[in-house]
Structure 1
Amino acid sequence: MTTKLLAILMLFGGSAFCQTEGVGIGTTQPRAKLEVAGDTRITTGLEIAVIEHLEDDETSTFLIQEQTNKIKALDVSNPTGAALGYIQVYEIYNPNEDWVLDFDTQVNATDFVLNAISASYDRELDIGSNASIPYYSAFIKNGTWHITADFPEANNRYPSELGTWTITCLIYSKDLSKQFGRIEIPMNNSSTGAATNPIVD
Structure 2
Amino acid sequence: MLLFMFTYKKNILFCLITLFMCANYALFSQTGINTTHPRKTLEVGGNMHVNGSIEIGTVKPLKDSESSTFLIQDTDNTIKAMDVSNPTGSALGYIQQYIITNPQGDWILNFDTGVDATDYVLITTSANYDKELVISNSINNAKNNGTLPYTSTFIENGTWHIIADFPVASNYNESEIGTWTINTLIFSKDLSKRFGTITIPMLGGTTGSAVIPIID
| TM-score under structure 1 length normalisation | 0.76
Aligned to 1:4: none
1:36–1:169 CA distance, 2 compared to 1 (3 A): same
Larger Rg: 2
Q: Match for residue 116 of structure 2?
A: 108
Quick check: 1:72 aligned with 2:93? no
CA contact (8 A) 1:67 1:175 kept: no
- The answer as to 2:38 corresponding to 1:23 is no
Aligned length: 182
Q: Give the aligned partner of residue 165 of structure 2.
A: 150
The alignment-based identity, stated in percent, is: 57
- For 2:40 and 2:48, locate their aligned partners in 1 and report how far apart those are by CA, in whole Å: 16
Deviates more, 1:172-181 or 1:48-57: 48-57
1:122-175 Cα shifts (integer Å, max 9, x gaps): 122231441333211111112211101112222222222111111110112222
In 2, distance between residues paired with 1:98 and 1:107?
23
Q: How does 1:1-201 map to 2 (within 5 A)?
A: 20-24=29-33, 26-65=34-73, 70-128=78-136, 129-130=141-142, 131=145, 132-201=147-216
- Unpaired segments of 5 or more residues in structure 2? 1-28
In the alignment, the residues of structure 1 paired with residue 77 and residue 204 of structure 2 have an alpha-carbon distance, to the nearest angstrom, of: 47
CA contact (8 A) 2:98 2:181 kept: yes
Distance change in 2, residues 1:183/1:48 (3 Å): farther
Paired with 1:93 and 1:116, the residues of 2 have a C-alpha distance of: 17
* Change in CA separation of 1:121 and 1:49 when aligned onto 2, cut-off 3 Å: same
In structure 1, list runs of 5 or more residues that go unmatched.
1-19
Structure 2 counterpart SS, 1:175: helix
More helix by share: 2
The aligned amino acid for 2:59 is: I
